[in-house]
Chains A and B, each alone.
Chain A
Amino acid sequence: MDQVTVRLSLNGAEVEASVEPRMHAIDFLRERYELSSPRVGCEHGVCGACTIRVSGRIVRGCLLLAVQLDGADVQTLEGLTAAGEIADLQQAFHERNAMQCGYCTSGMLMASQEYLQTATSCSREAIREHLSGNYCRCTGYEAIVDAVAKVAVSRGLKLLGDNA
């Protein structure tokens, strides 16, 4: 199969690679660059474990081809961790035990950070709705909602609703 050259920014570094057109973005990141924080879960765009950030928006790594990353600014949890962008959120997840097996956690953090960046006010219901594309089999979600709500308040968002 013909190889295609892609050039992208990957966690802040400029990279160039030649890939098969059929290669998925999630496999490209995991296998080519050993960026293992995005996880393969359903391969169907449902579970959110493979969530990455592409040019500012979170997307499913399993529904995207590597060639579609050409010219993009791609960030994985490794990049956010190194930059310290979500240190408060990671701390809140850790303290509140908002992860058990941890397999969904990368995607949950990426989706939570997008929520916190885009929300103008915050409620538990809105957090739950925003995270509804991310499957967690272990926690039952409540600890995750608690952690995100805590960070929302600490970042200056007003928490609405009677469960605050």
Chain B
Amino acid sequence: MNAPTTTQEQQALGQQRWIGASVARPNGRRLVDGAAVYVDDIRLPRMLNVFFVRSPYASARIKGIALDAARKSKGVVAIYTGADLARRIAPMLATLAHFKGMKAAEQPCLAIDRVCWQGEPVVAIVAQSRHLAEDAAQHVQIDYEELPVVTDMERALDADAPVIHPDLGDNLCFTREIDTGNWDETATSSDLVIERTFRFPRHTGVCLEGRSVIGDYSVSDKRLTVYISHQAPNMIQDCYARLLGLTESAVRVICRDVGGSYGIKTHVYGDELATCAISMDLGRPIKFVADRIESFTSDIHSRDHKVSIRMAFAKDGTLRGIDFLDMLAIGPYSVYPRTSVVEGNQIVNITGQWYRHDAYRAKMVNVFTNMAIYSNYRAVGHPVAVGVTEAMMDSAARALGVDPVEIRRKNLLRDEQFPCSTPSGMKFECMSHHRCLDKITAMMDLPRLRKEQASLRQKGIYRGIGIVSMIEITNPSAMFYGVGGARISAQDGCTVKMEPGGGIVVLNGCGEQGQGTETIFAQVAADALGVDFADVRVVTGDTDATPYGGGTWASRGAGVGGEATWQAARALRENILALAAVVLETSADRLEIRAGKVVDVLTGEEKTSLAELGRIAYFRPDTLGSFQAELCVTRHFVPKAYPFTFTNGALACHLEVDVDTGFIKLLKFWAVEDCGTVLNAQLVDEQMRGSIVQGIGPTLYEQCLYDERGQLLNGNMADYLVPMAYEMPDMEIGHISTPTKSSELGAKGAGEAGTAGAPGAIMNALNDALSPFRVEMFDMPFTPEKVLRALGRIDD
């Protein structure tokens, strides 16, 4: 008989299912024991530390660098300038061919002749310890001539604005427009056109573990080992090899425990690359760990948008068209190798696309500024795309006197309309918007909340309810980067092998940064093989060990790495049964693996164990005649049927506004997500909760504040506010499951939807709470001061 090939078939056969179970993460145990190993915990023989002297100016010419005094400082081994390292490192130029017309300048890993943002590394000091390197830094004298800066995105393209890269002609990095050509006539013939302007603050990821790397070059082996806190080991291997003039095989990248990443750690940073170049120069291990101020000024920032949008409706609430301009301010460079334009590109691709409409005109304008470098951060573009769409739906509902849930029901794509293409050109396979909306309103007991809201308003208590429907890009194909020429793998490989003792080892290109990636791979392999979860060990984060892959970003770990695991484990299962058939002198289709034993498929009678098969295959192959056992199998997977696998869902927020102080208290969050097949229910729920709170941060608290000279004013955790436990609500999570047919597992991504949806949900709840005052707010973060200004309670 044929083996069951889908999880559904397995379930029908009553087999043990690890897939879906809320098993605890085996690799979580060392985290609670205090035994995790982050890069800063790694100590290598003869290791030195590097400290980077960074620019205090946002734009300046470097007139001279005096290093003599610093070289004499205690413990200093070597000092490098940008010009020194340029001899070892090729500059980074991040443009991709599918972003037509995009411009960018080459970025040196350390500044040469001029600096373009406050925090740009200028001088590298290598010393016996970080303390001694910092001591020496006080003796480095850099003569700067401060230059005019560009910090205001709306003036960056003015004729009299300073041009950051004169060779590029102006400060325009990239612009793109999608136009169905019928907005004007649609707007003219619609009953209502509403127009609003939104601001989304520049903010950053605030990983608790700073970026960190150890470059360990062996002069003897001519090989560079890179221990790095990162999400994409093979991408680092490729980029470092090319930029440092090494072959791929001369670079090994190891990612052990990673203390937070969220997209911040998917990029190539000049200081990290310089650390490895210095290791090659000195032939010794060199460690760099970013401290907190370095993190704030040299990690990538994200968002920073001004969106001017119009949406046209019929008076019954039917959406007819969308027209918007998204201005966004990146830093002075496009960040290598993913660029700094994906955020805006996603926004023109997806804004409003989960609603039916005829007319779509969307334009994005990316401008260079003298602020920190900027690129992809969790839920790239989605908080903006979802936030503006959903706030506009609520504004329209208020203007038309339509219930906010009903206006969504009227316009959301219906299940039977999939698969479909949208006005922006996105292709959607399958979604469940109406089921998600029905489920979330039931979870909330919306009628009760509305009743309570009305009665509390009589007492001067202002509560608001905000609901959003949303989509999220996951499991990207090569359409994301590969088609543009980026050497970032869309496919992932997985090797699954059986050890002589019958244990299973999974080696996967997608790694772990706390999501539970390794755990779900073990669950998938256990079910695919028919073994116990505890008998599966997972190895990730070592380019010498794992098959080539893209790594963990864009919510691709489960859908891409998980599917590769499934297919490799299914293939190994067939090989094990073929071996068993030879040993047992029967036919493989009469055998099955259950709980680590080979059994008769009909009677369930135990025939042999995996350990016995391992013994024979590895130590007594002479008894197998001409049969060659293959107990190590590799399979690769890449999504091909669709450019992206979109998930969908609904989020809701309940909050209370204190109209005297302007404080917003979050009372509760709900989320219903459809990520297809759920591989581990608890891990999916915790991804949702964590990502919701990362969406709450920049909606209420987080913002990188710059002055007119391009100085970051709040580069520490006392002044840059992040969500802490006391202010955060409890979050109730529900699921609808519409598996993708583009893989056997059916899993879509689950890591980013909360960050995508929470800002819109809060904005809608806030504007619902403020509706008695006929006030709407669209300028995040919604600080108490802004709330009071909107209410007219304070003015200048």
Interface residues of A (CB under 8 A from B): 27, 30-31, 34, 36-37, 39-47, 49, 76-78, 81, 90, 93-97, 99-106, 109, 124-125, 127-129, 131-145, 163
Complex formed: what's the CA distance from A125 to B37 in Å? 32
Q: Is the CB of A97 within 8 A of B683?
A: yes
Residues of A within 8 A of B243 (CB): none
Q: Is the CB of B43 within 8 A of A34?
A: yes
Q: Is the CB of B726 within 8 A of A47?
A: no
Q: Is the CB of A163 within 8 A of B717?
A: no
Contact partner, A41, options B28, B131, B292, B694, Cβ 8 Å? B292
Complex formed: what's the CA distance from A42 to B208 in Å? 8
Residues of B within 8 A of A27 (CB): 131
Interface string of B741-765 (1 = CB under 8 A from A): 0000000000000100000000000
Complex formed: what's the CA distance from A28 to B707 in Å? 37
Say whether, besides A97-B28, A137-B260, A141-B693, A44 and B725 are in contact (CB < 8 Å): no
Residues of A within 8 A of B36 (CB): 102-103, 105
Cβ of B690 under 8 Å from chain A: yes
Nearest CB of B to A140, in Å: 4
Chain B residue with Cβ nearest A81: B33
Say whether, besides A101-B513, A140-B728, A42 and B38 are in contact (CB < 8 Å): no
Complex formed: what's the CA distance from A30 to B206 in Å? 22
- Provide the main secondary structure of the chain B interface: loop
Q: Is the CB of B31 within 8 A of A99?
A: yes
Residues of B within 8 A of A138 (CB): 260, 514, 690
Q: Which of B259, B693, B694 has the most CB of A within 10 A?
A: B259
Nearest CB of B to A62, in Å: 10
Say whether, besides A101-B209, A135-B717, A78 and B34 are in contact (CB < 8 Å): yes
Q: Is the CB of A128 within 8 A of B717?
A: no
Nearest CB of B to A137, in Å: 5
Q: Is the CB of B718 within 8 A of A102?
A: no
Q: Which of A40, A45, A77, A137 has the most CB of B within 10 A?
A: A137
Nearest CB of A to B393, in Å: 26
Q: Is the CB of A139 within 8 A of B28?
A: no
Say whether, besides A94-B24, A139-B689, A100 and B515 are in contact (CB < 8 Å): yes
Q: Is the CB of A141 within 8 A of B728?
A: yes
Cβ of B551 under 8 Å from chain A: no
Interface size class of B (residues with CB under 8 A): 35 or more
Chain B residue with Cβ nearest A46: B717
Q: Is the CB of B258 within 8 A of A128?
A: no
Residues of A within 8 A of B718 (CB): 42, 44-46
Q: Is the CB of B25 within 8 A of A97?
A: yes
Q: Is the CB of B514 within 8 A of A102?
A: yes
Q: Is the CB of A137 within 8 A of B206?
A: yes
Q: Is the CB of B207 within 8 A of A128?
A: no
Q: Which of A43, A90, A95, A141 has the most CB of B within 10 A?
A: A141
Residues of A within 8 A of B34 (CB): 36-37, 76-78, 81, 105-106, 109
Nearest CB of B to A126, in Å: 10
Chain B residue with Cβ nearest A104: B208
Chain B residue with Cβ nearest A49: B208
Q: Is the CB of A39 within 8 A of B730?
A: no
Say whether, besides A36-B41, A49-B208, A143-B686, A135 and B724 are in contact (CB < 8 Å): yes
Complex formed: what's the CA distance from A97 to B714 in Å? 32
28 A-B pairs within 8 Å (CB atoms) are namely: A39-B208, A39-B209, A41-B717, A44-B716, A45-B718, A46-B716, A81-B35, A96-B682, A97-B686, A99-B514, A100-B513, A100-B686, A101-B257, A101-B259, A102-B259, A103-B38, A103-B207, A128-B726, A135-B208, A137-B260, A137-B262, A138-B260, A140-B690, A140-B691, A140-B694, A141-B724, A141-B725, A142-B731
Contact partner, B686, options A30, A36, A128, A139, Cβ 8 Å? A139
Chain B residue with Cβ nearest A20: B131
Complex formed: what's the CA distance from A41 to B717 in Å? 10
Residues of A within 8 A of B31 (CB): 99, 101-102, 105
